[in-house]
Amino acid sequence: MADTRVQLEVEDWVRVNWMPNHFGQKFYRNRLRLSAGGVFDFDAVSEDQSIVASISTSAMKTSGGKAASGKLMKLRSDMLFLLMAETVSKRFIVLTEHSMFVVCQKERESGRAPLGIDFLLAKIPDELEHRLIQARIAASKEVSPRAAEQLPDEVLLQQDSKDIDN
């Protein structure tokens, strides 16, 4: 399995470094009550709990060059939870990838994103960005059709027998 811990490192860097510089206060991962009665764990909540944000490290294109529609759907899910967060006055999606930021801005302009949520682009350090790209490349290799072709037959047969047993 590809090591994708760097995505969490990027989220941490955005929450601990970029957001306090941008907003002038500390941010933490935090659970907030939702208007429907449940709770949700948010990527970033300001110290005074007036600001809530989701942080995304996703790019808009897959390694094969196709639109990453699943990643956009994840952001739409995040938007729903942001809108449902109680007692906050500002809601954001903080993106680290310019390509996704551009798509989100176009969604806003076409009336396909909630007006109560703003999109921000956080520039991460070059070294962290390089590691994120490398992790993304490694992960995409694992899920590509060629990766499956290169697996030993025993691994594929074991997986098939597990699928049959379940």
Q: To the nearest whole percent, how much of the chain has pLDDT over 70?
A: 77
Q: Assign residue 50 a region (left: φ > 0; alpha: ψ between -120 and 50; beta: otherwise).
A: alpha
Using CA atoms, how far residue 31 sits from 40, 98, 144, in Å, is: 5, 28, 35
pLDDT of residue 126: 95
The pLDDT-based confidence of 114 (bands split at 50, 70, 90) is very high
* Domain that includes residue 41, residue range: 5-165
pLDDT tens digit sequence for 23-38: 999 999 999 999 999 9
Total structural domains within the chain:
1
